[in-house]
Amino acid sequence: MILLQVVVSGLLMGAVYALFSSGLTLIWGMMNVVNFAHGDFVMLAMYAAFFAYTLLHLGPAVFIPGAAVLLFVLGVVVYLGLVRHVARGPMLGQILGTFGLALVLRYAAFWAFSANFVSLPDTLVGGTFDLWGLRIEASRLLGGVLALIITIGMHLVLTRTMLGSRLLAVAEDRQAAMLMGIRPDRMQALAWGVGAASTGVAGALIALFFYISPTVGESLALVAFVVVCLGGFGSVPGALIAGLGIGVIQALSAYLIGAVYQDVVVFALFLVVLWVRPQGLMGTA
Amino acid sequence: MRQWPLVLLGFVAIAAWPLLTNDVFLQRLGALVLLAAISASAWNLLGGYAGQVSIGHSVYFGAGAYASLVCFTQFGWPPIAGAPVGMLVAMLIAAVVGTPTFRLRGHYFSMATIAAAELARILAANVPVLGAAVGLMGPPVPRSLADLSFISPIPYHYLFLAVLTLLLALTWQMQRSKMGFYLAAIRGGDRAARSLGVPVLRYKLYALLLSAAFTALAGSLYAVMIGFVDPDSGLGILISVKMVIVAALGGAGTLFGPLVGAIILIPLEETTNALFGGSGTGITFIIYGAIIVLIARFRPGGMADLWRAITAKGRRRAA
């Protein structure tokens, strides 16, 4: 029974992983650029939620979409101001560009918000309840379910709408898409906006039940890399399955081996998968 | 090499530096600049010349730093005697971890190096022999000259200068040899290099082994001078980041780029640390981050590229 409890809480966390990893995989699939600042976007969204509550007394119904909008704007700005210019340059420039951004965001947060851990009150999304003998925190359930719905929604938009087709067309072949009258720049800016917005929602959701600190993004970014690599680069369904899987593996290894080693297991798994199948578990070569 | 007079002048200036001032802060600064130049030049062998951007070189730095202090705490050796051990351990790690990782290209390689380094950091923080989260200390008082424990930074300055000179001479030789051309081809693209008949994996591995060994030596020298290492100061991601930034600012893949980068960045870092105290590290890394964003955005070739642009313009004007 305890094991089932662990698996369920792993799945709920995994759904949130899936959500922000989908954003990373979308950006990656669109333009083959890695956002090394992805985890720090999540961190910003967490602080946005925290300050929306403590300073402006706004509830989750407001600050979750609010964080999404805020991060969407940040994503577009980062694309237009930085990524657009480095994407076609040398590899070193691409890596340094978003990596430098990650450092700036992380240490600006240190400076502005201090290194102390903060968190939202537990009572914000009411307490804990029993469901078929499992004890479930309402905040984690809300986070998991909402993340799941949005991730699936993102997949549907990408595969079932005109906008999604345009995005995928640019990802597939930039030149051909241009010939079809699609503006790649606009689509890529949109992908960065949507990718960052996913971190906005995910960050606001995580903030409901997790501590907030300037460095929290570092380990979240690594989780997102692992999820994207496992799920295949550019695949939202892949990210969903891998995200849930990583959530469960993390929860199980924390329970069975010890909380210190939950990241060790995940990173080791990541390296093994990269070495054995560099294209990802579900990706194609 | 047309710039011999300039290089010689630079060498003399660096060698004379600690004798020109009585200020210990400035003398110490010189030693720290040289140490950063050593680790960044070591990173440059792989990240610059071969174009494989590792953000996990802290593993090798940590191997050197930890080896020196473990040899002291366990066997009572002078810390510098642990340096060859650290270099061997680093090369072993490089061979084991590097071989499969090199099949990854571009971003994937960088991400794998980050994951490997984080793995090492978490593991080191949980191994008692490595001091776990508390870290390890060097000899509190020098037992003999071999402990290389000095109050003045000047001896370290000349020790580091000797190592850096050796490393740069080796790099220069490498750059002119067959290996230099092979690495340049690999930097241009794996597939193209392979189609030219370059044994890509083998030469990436050579570059990594050399790079890992000298990064470990830098780690040992750090441990000898500072006399302390813990998971963050030996294996933290910022250790790797610093090597990348120093090399990239000066010019990745150029002989003197990392030294130039260190001459610019380390005084900046030490000054902000001195001005803002403990919170200075935070501000230092905001500045670091901003600098690499600007390099990436406007001049991915670093200062070396800027220098070439300026001298080319000058020559055109003279003509």
Predicted ipTM of the assembly: 0.80
- Residue A148 · residue A15 · CB < 8 Å: yes
Q: Is the pLDDT of residue A279 over 70?
A: no
Residue A30: partners with Cβ closer than 8 Å, 6 or more residues away: A167, A170, A171, A187, A188, A191, A234
- Residue B233 · residue B135 · CB < 8 Å: yes
User: Of A88, A101, A91, which is closest to residue B301 (Cα–Cα)?
Assistant: A91
Minimum-distance CB partner of B111 among A34, A90, A101: A34
Q: What is the dihedral of CA B292, B293, B295, B301, to 10 degrees?
A: 80
SS3 for B137? strand
User: Of A155, A142, A185, which is closest to residue A25 (Cα–Cα)?
Assistant: A155
Closest chain B residue to the Cα of A36, Cα to Cα? B111
H or E segment and range at residue B228: strand B228-229
Q: Which of B72-81, B131-140, B215-224 has the highest mean pLDDT?
A: B215-224
Minimum-distance CB partner of B286 among A99, A108, A267: A108
Q: B48-61 burial string, b = 16+ CB within 10 Å, else e?
A: bbbbbbbbbbbbbb
* Tens-place pLDDT, residues B204-263: 999 999 999 999 999 999 999 998 998 988 898 889 988 998 998 888 899 999 999 999
What average pLDDT does the structure give for chain A?
88
Taking contacts as CB-CB distances below 8 angstroms, the residues of chain A near B43 are none
Six token digits for residue B224: 């000898």
* Tens-place pLDDT, residues B17-35: 888 888 888 999 999 999 9
Residue type, position A265, single letter: V
Q: Across the strands, what pairs with B136?
A: B229
Q: Across the strands, what pairs with B229?
A: B136
Torsion B64-B122-A91-B270 (CA) sign? negative
Q: How far apart are CA A31 and CA A234, in angstroms?
A: 10
Closest chain B residue to the Cα of A100, Cα to Cα? B289
User: Of B190, B192, B209, B210, which is closest to residue B200 (Cα–Cα)?
Assistant: B190
User: Measured between CB atoms, does B252 come within 8 Å of chain A?
Assistant: yes
| pTM of the model as a whole | 0.87
H or E segment and range at residue A12: helix A2-31
State the average pLDDT over residues B257-270.
Answer: 91
DSSP string, A231-270: H-TT-HHHHHHHHHHHHHHHHHHHHHT-GGGHHHHHHHHH
Residue B117, exposed/middle/buried by CB under 10 A (0-12, 13-18, 19+)? buried
Give the C-alpha distances (Å, rounded to integers) separating B222 from A75, B33, B175, B219. Answer: 39, 12, 27, 5
- Residue B194 · residue B57 · CB < 8 Å: no
Residue A285: per-residue pLDDT: 43
- Residue A152 · residue A241 · CB < 8 Å: no
Q: To probe the interface with A, which of B102, B105, B107 has the most A CB atoms within 10 Å? A: B107
User: Measured between CB atoms, does B278 come within 8 Å of chain A?
Assistant: no
User: Measured between CB atoms, does B134 come within 8 Å of chain A?
Assistant: no
* B114:A222 CB<8 A: yes
- Residue B61 · residue B222 · CB < 8 Å: yes
How do strand B228-229 and strand A128-131 relate by DSSP bridges?
unpaired
Least confident range of A6-10, A280-284, B217-221: A280-284
Residue A121: per-residue pLDDT: 84
- Chain A residues with CB within 8 Å of chain B CB: 32-34, 82, 85-86, 89-97, 99-108, 110-111, 218, 222, 225-226, 229, 260-261, 263-264, 267-268, 270-271, 274-275, 278
Q: How far apart are CA A13 and CA A266, in angstroms?
A: 14
Taking contacts as CB-CB distances below 8 angstroms, the residues of chain B near A94 are 107, 296
Residue B99: per-residue pLDDT: 77
* Tens-place pLDDT, residues A150-171: 999 999 998 899 888 888 888 8
Residue B126, exposed/middle/buried by CB under 10 A (0-12, 13-18, 19+)? middle
Confidence of residue A277 (pLDDT cuts 50, 70, 90): confident
Minimum-distance CB partner of A225 among B51, B111, B286: B111
- Phi, psi of A136, rounded to the nearest 5 degrees: -125, 130
* A274:B104 CB<8 A: yes
Closest chain A residue to the Cα of B50, Cα to Cα? A92
SS3 for A128? strand
| Helix A184-207 with A38-54: angle, nearest 10 deg | 50
Q: How far apart are CA B258 and CA B247, in angstroms?
A: 4
* B283:A111 CB<8 A: yes
